[in-house]
Amino acid sequence: GAVVSQHPSRVICKSGTSVKIECRSLDFQATTMFWYRQFPKQSLMLMATSNEGSKATYEQGVEKDKFLINHASLTLSTLTVTSAHPEDSSFYICSATQDRGYGYTFGSGTRLTVV
C-alpha cells in the first residue's frame, strides 16, 4: 500500500529559528500533497496544498511567508516554519494520494515544540 514518511517525528527549537519538516511518498509519486496543523484536542486544520513544480496554495489565514512549502519532486514536499515562535508549537501532518480521486495516506506527523 501507499506509504507516506514524515520526518522528523519530534523537534524542539528555539524561538526565532527555522524548522524544516519533510514529507515523502515512499512507493508512489505524488503530484499533490497537503499540509495540516493540529492543536491539542482539536481537529486537523488544512494549511496548504503543495503542488509539484509550482507554488503552494494556502488556506485563508495561513501566512505563506511564515510557512514555506517546497515541492521540488514527485516524492518530496517540505514545510519550513520560519522564525518560529511558541504559538507555532503544534502537530504538523502531511498527506498524499496515490491515485487521482481516491483515498489519502497521511504521514505520522511531526510534533514541533518552540521554546
Partner 1 sequence: DAKTTQPTSMDCAEGRAANLPCNHSTISGNEYVYWYRQIHSQGPQYIIHGLKNNETNEMASLIITEDRKSSTLILPHATLRDTAVYYCIVRAAGGYQKVTFGTGTKLQVIP
| 3, 26, 46, 72: which one binds partner 1 (CB under 8 A) | 46
- Given the complex with partner 1, which of 14 and 100 has the nearer CB atom? 100
- Given the complex with partner 1, which of 14 and 43 has the nearer CB atom? 43
Q: How far is the CB of 13 from partner 1 (least distance, A)?
A: 19
Q: Is residue 14 part of the contact set for partner 1 (CB under 8 A)?
A: no
Q: Is the dihedral of CA 68, 58, 50, 111 positive or negative?
A: positive
- The CA radius of gyration of the chain, in Å to the nearest whole number, is 13
Segment lying near partner 1 (by CB under 8 A), choices 13-21, 37-45, 60-68, 75-83: 37-45
Cα–Cα distance measured from residue 15 to residue 11, given in angstroms and rounded to the nearest whole number: 12
Cα–Cα distance measured from residue 32 to residue 85, given in angstroms and rounded to the nearest whole number: 28
